[in-house]
Amino acid sequence: MGIATFNPATGKTVRTFEPYDSTEIDRRLQRAATAFATWRRTPVRARVAAVARLGELFEAEKDRLGALMTLEMGKPIKAAVEEAAKCATACRYYAEHGERLLAPRVIVDGPEKGEVIYQPLGPVLAVMPWNFPFWQVVRFLAPSLTAGNVGLLKHSSNVPQCALAIEELCLRAGYPDGVFQTLLIGSDAVEQILSDPRVVAATLTGSEGAGRAVASTAGKYLKKTVLELGGSDPFLVMPSADVKRAASTAVIARTINNGQSCIAAKRFIVHDDVADDFTRVLVDGMAALRVGDPADPATQLGPLASPQVVDDIEKQVRDSVARGARVLTGGKRLDRPGCYYAATVITDVERDTPAYREELFGPVAVLFRARDAGDAIRIANDTGFGLGASAWTRDDAEARRFKDELEAGMVFINGMVASDARFPFGGIKRSGYGRELADVGIYEFVNVKTVRIGGGVTLSE
C-alpha cells in the first residue's frame, strides 16, 4: 500500500504520499545537522519554552488531532482526543523539570573541582509505530529536543498525516527549522539513514523484528539505541482482591486502543478460588462491548489498524484453537466493512501455541488458572517478554512478592499498566531496553560528561 492514509473503519484508502527519494533524504539530513549546530547551543530555558508551547498546542488542538488518529488507524475518538491531551502532559513535565534535570551536577567542590554535565548527541532517528501516533513520538520528542538533540521521524507508513502534523506543531511551537522533521520514507530507507554519520542514535517502538533490524544496523555503526518492543503483559488476580473490580478493569486493560497496545493486559492469570467469578465478569464484559465506527463517541471497540493486523490475530487464534484452546466468546473477524475482529476470550492454551508464546495485538484475552501466588508468578514469567505487569491483591505479603518477583519493566498493583510522564517507561527481555519519560528518559540521548579541574580554575559561568 505504500505511504497512505487507509481508513480501517471503511477499508478504503483516503490519500497517498510519494516517499522521499535519496536526494530529499540527504537534504533533510543536512538540514538536521545544520539545525543541531545551533540548537545544541540554545539555552536550556529557550528549549524548555518551546516544549511548553508544544504542550499548549496539543491541548488546544486535541479534537483535530484526535480526529486525525481516528481516521488513520481507527482509534475510538474519545481515546484519540485523550491521547492528544496526554501529549501535553509529557511536554509540561519537561517544561517544568528540564532545566533542573540538565543542570550540571557538582560532585567535588573544593580546591579540586568536579562535576557532571549533560550535552546533546546530535540528530536522532525515531522509528515509530501507528498504534499511538502522537504519544509514542512525544515520549521521545519532548525529552530529547529539550536536551538539545534534533529529531528525525520515520513514522509508520499508515499514519503519514499524523506524522506531518507533528512537524507542523513543532514549527508553530517555535522549534527552529530542521530541529524536528518528518521523513516520508519506507522501512527500506532506514539503513541508509542509520549508516549516515550525521545521524548519531536511534530509538524504536515497534515489533521485535523491527527492533532487531534497527539495533543490528545501529550496532554495526556503534550508535546508541533505545528499543520499546512488544509485550505479553500478565494480569494476576488473587482471592483477596476486589475480583469484580479487577475483572471490569481487565476488559478495559485488554481492549484499550482496540487491543493494539504493547502494555495492554493480554494474559489473565487468576487464582483457582476466584477464577469462575472472574471469568464470568470478563466474558460478559467483552461480549457486551459496543463495536462500531470509531468516530462515534459511543463506540467502545473500533477496527484494527489494517487487514494485515486482522489476518495476524485471526491466524494466531485459529492455530491456538486447533491445538486445544477453547473460545469463551468471540474468536472471529466480524462480517462488516473494515478491519473488525470480535472481542475474544480463550482458555486452555498449550505452551507451544501462539496464544501462549506470541504477542496478541488485538482484542484477545487469554485466561489461565493458578494454584497460588507462586504458581501465578511462574506462569506470568514464562514468556520472552517483560514490559508491564498488573497484579491484584489486598495481601501485603503477596503485593511484595509481585513487586519483587515479576519480570517486567513496570509492575502495577491493583491498577492497569499505563504510561505516565513522571515514571520511566520500558521493558526487559525481548520487550527491549532503555527507558523513555521521567528523568531517565532525558538522559538516554546525552553525553554524560565528567569534568574535573584543578589548579584553581573555576567551573562557574
Active-site residue list: 228, 262
For 206, phi and psi rounded to 5 degrees? 170, -155
Cα(199)–Cα(432) distance, rounded to whole angstroms? 21
DSSP line for 210-264: HHHHHHHHHHHTT-EEEEE----EEEEE-TTS-HHHHHHHHHHHHHGGGG--TTS
> In terms of Cα–Cα distance, which of 231, 215, 254 is closest to 410?
231
Q: What angle do CA 301, 227, 31 make, to 5 degrees?
A: 100
Residues in Cβ contact with 347 at an 8 Å cutoff, skipping those fewer than 6 apart: 279, 325, 326, 328, 366, 367, 368
Residue whose C-alpha is closest to residue 196's, from 177, 178, 218: 218
Cβ atoms 174, 95 nearer than 8 A: no
Q: What does the alpha-carbon distance between residue 74 and residue 71 come to, in Å, rounded to a whole number?
A: 6
**128 alpha-carbon distance from chain centroid:** 9
Query: What's the distance, CA 110 to chain centroid?
Result: 44
CA distance 155 to 203: 12
Question: Which residue is it, cell 520499546?
Answer: 228
Strand 344-347, strand 326-329: pairing:
antiparallel
Query: All 3 cell numbers of residue 344?
Result: 475474544
Contacts (Cβ under 8 Å, ≥6 apart) of 425 = 139, 228, 409, 410, 419, 435, 436, 437, 438, 441
d(CA 230, CA 209): 10
3-class secondary-structure state, position 271:
strand
> What cell does 276 get?
469462575
* Kind of pairing between the strands at 3-7 and 12-17: antiparallel
- Determine the Cα–Cα distance for residues 330 and 259; give it in Å rounded to an integer: 14
Give the C-alpha separation, 434 to 10, whole Å: 38
User: Which of 294, 301, 356, 357 lies closest to 333, judged by CA?
Assistant: 301
